[in-house]
Amino acid sequence: MAMARAVYSKLMRAVGEGRFVFTGEVEPLKTADAEGIVRAAERLRDWTVACNVTDNPRARAYMSSVAASHIMQSRTGVEAVCQMTVRDRNRIALQSDILGAAALGIRNVLTMSGDHTTFGDNPQAMPVYDIDTAHFVRMVRLMVDEGCDLAGNRVAGEVGLHVGITGNPNAEPLEMEIMKIEKKVELGAEFMQTQATFDIERAKEFLREMGRLEIPVILGIFPCRSYATAEYLRSSVPGITVPDEFMEQMKRADAAQDRSRQREKIDDVNIEFFSSMIKELRKTERLAGMHVMTIGYERIVKALAEKV
């Protein structure tokens, strides 16, 4: 079971102290220019304990998450949760990137399978999947705790970072999802960030199950900066159910004539929905914080953080 581990990151310190945290998200794109990441991180800085840096989401070949994490940290002071998928790298490259990330001062790594290559902008690519995310968690634990790699070769000096996993409260069957998570917790995963959910009852059920496991859960939410975004989520993102009432309210807010009024109303709908969700969940369940999928809607984090 969980032993007392060293704390390397602000995220894990805050979570360990029982502070309710917000994490945000920035997305490197197909460019060698990091200005966009830096600007997004600056908008999130005061309201998040750390920000995820995505790793070629939807299998699109973008700037490396390790490089972007380092740039974000050094230029804005925002701590990175560096996302790393097993889709594009075999175990040699993953171990190499973990060493590189640790050397660059990256303190949190989020292990992911990664959207399949066939979705991407280079669908002809070979999907790697040499190891899976359970192996990835084990690999990081070996490097951090045992000073060796997956094959048992010695790693010189300390590797100081935390390993996180993803979870999906919307998954069916939920029992299977819980068992999969349990396996990774036993392997030494230290924190979890989840897929976005709008379903409070399902989130409660998920958190209740997670309560048995020794892992802080940062629950994913997806505030919508426009009715179109909500509509896209509802119709095009399988597995996420957006409540009709939320859709209705977004539609009404979207209908406002003047642009700044529209913006304000949309913010209100999001703040109302998600702050009551957070309050409701925190009443009964153990919840370490919220992961706000913020791409392009950074201002909502401040509003939510102030409200809860």
Partner 1 sequence: MIITRQKPQEKIDEMVAPYGRVFIVGCGTCATGCGTGGEEQVKAMAQRLGSRAIGWAVVESPCDARINRRDLAARKGELEGADAVLCMACGAGAQAVAEYADKAIIPALDTLFIGKTERLGRYFERCRACADCILLETGGVCPTVRCSKGLINGPCGGQVKGKCEVGDYKNDCAWVLIFNSLKRQNRLDAFRKYRPPKDRSAKARPQELASR
Q: Is the Cβ of residue 74 or residue 118 nearer to partner 1 in the bound state?
A: 118
Q: Is the Cβ of residue 136 or residue 273 nearer to partner 1 in the bound state?
A: 136
Chain positions contacting partner 1, by CB under 8 A: 87, 91, 112-113, 115-116, 118-119, 127, 129-135, 138, 150, 166, 168, 171-173, 175-177, 179-180, 182-183, 186-187, 195, 238-239
Measure the CA–CA gap between 81 and 38, rounded to whole angstroms.
Answer: 15
Q: Is the Cβ of residue 108 or residue 168 nearer to partner 1 in the bound state?
A: 168
Closest approach of partner 1 to the CB of residue 133, in Å: 8
**207 exposure class (CB count in 10 Å sphere: 0-12, 13-18, 19+):** buried
Q: Is the Cβ of residue 38 or residue 150 nearer to partner 1 in the bound state?
A: 150
Closest approach of partner 1 to the CB of residue 136, in Å: 10
- Inter-residue contact 84 to 100 (CB < 8 Å): no
Q: Is the Cβ of residue 35 or residue 130 nearer to partner 1 in the bound state?
A: 130
Residues in the chain: 308
Closest approach of partner 1 to the CB of residue 224, in Å: 20
DSSP secondary structure letter of residue 101 = H
- Inter-residue contact 50 to 308 (CB < 8 Å): no
Among positive and negative, which fits the CA dihedral 192, 91, 33, 73?
positive
Task: Of 179, 55, 73, give the one whose Cα is nearest residue 120.
Answer: 55
